[in-house]
Amino acid sequence: MELVLVHLFPDLLNLYGDRGNLIALRERARRRGIRVTVRQVRLEEPLPRDGDLFLVGGGEDRQQTLVAQALRGSTGQLRSAAQSGAVVFAVCGGYQLLGHAYRTAEGQELSGVGLLDVVTEHPGHNTRRLVGDVVATCTVPGVGELVGFENHGGRTRLGPGARPLATVRVGFGNNGEDGTEGAWCGTVFGTYLHGPVLPKNPRFADYLLRLALRRRYGDVHLQSLDDRAEEAAHAAAAARARVPR
């Protein structure tokens, strides 16, 4: 089996080591004998047509402004890829741009690609940022608990076409009010969890791998890996999040 991972705008969207999500997916696949090709896409470069899993990291408003137009130019191709079964996984700023729109702290409205039924608005520089460790229960069957770190000013609201990726037990989540974290629809996923998130959540990483492989190979069984280090990192992050601050 082979897998093509596409990393969108890695030079602009890589806050808090989000590139670690790519590394985790690549290595978990390779440890199972799956051949992995990584394609990096920068501004003005076309999206590859053979991508199985597209990753978008987080960035500040300045980087998001640069990326927004490039993403909109690739909306049709990205939508077609998702409809064909490719996975799209985005973090923080990338998650916001997968929605319909993001209004920045300065009031500038950035149109998103609309792959997720969400809208994000930054209330302004004088409002509290949503920062800290997160423990949440994933709504994806079989994944269980998610841990990560959030740091965002935007408040994201989900429309009826998106499900929350998780429900928050510790932390703020999408907006600090409704208890939701992230969003997903079909094979498109967005989250505010940095860390990076996938190395500390191996069951979620494997779910994304299986989903991406299904596009070419149907339902596949992934052999078990020795995840003692990943589970220890998960437990440490969960314990830290529950310490009173």
Q: What is the mean pLDDT of each run of 10 residues along the chain (245 residues)?
A: 94 76 97 97 87 88 74 84 96 94 90 95 90 97 96 96 98 98 98 95 98 96 97 96 73
Q: Clarify whether 92 is annotated catalytic.
A: yes
Q: What is the model's pLDDT at position 195?
A: 86
Q: How far is CA 24 from the centre of its chain?
A: 13
Tell me how far CA of residue 207 lies from CA of 73, 130, 245, in angstroms: 29, 27, 32
What's the rounded Cα separation, in Å, for the pair 29 and 35? 7
Task: Flag whether the pTM goes above 0.85.
Answer: yes
Range of the domain at 173: 2-242
CB atoms near residue 231 (< 10 Å): 14
Number of neighbouring beta carbons within 10 Å of residue 233: 17
- Contact yes or no for 191/203 (Cβ under 8 A): no
pLDDT at residue number 136? 98
State residue 63's pLDDT score: 72
For the domain that residue 171 is a member of, what is the CATH number? 3.40.50.880
Find out whether 186 and 215 touch, Cβ atoms under 8 Å: no
Report the run of H or E that residue 217 belongs to, with start and end: helix 202-217
Catalytic residue among 92, 138, 152, 185: 92
Residues in the chain: 245
Helix (H, G, I), strand (E, B) or coil at 85: coil
- 131 φ, ψ (degrees, to nearest 5): -130, 140
Catalytic one of 122, 152, 194, 234: 194
Total domains in the fold of the chain: 1
194 part of the active site:
yes
Who's near 19: CB < 8 A, 6+ residues apart? 7, 10, 57, 196
What's the confidence (pLDDT) of residue 244? 64
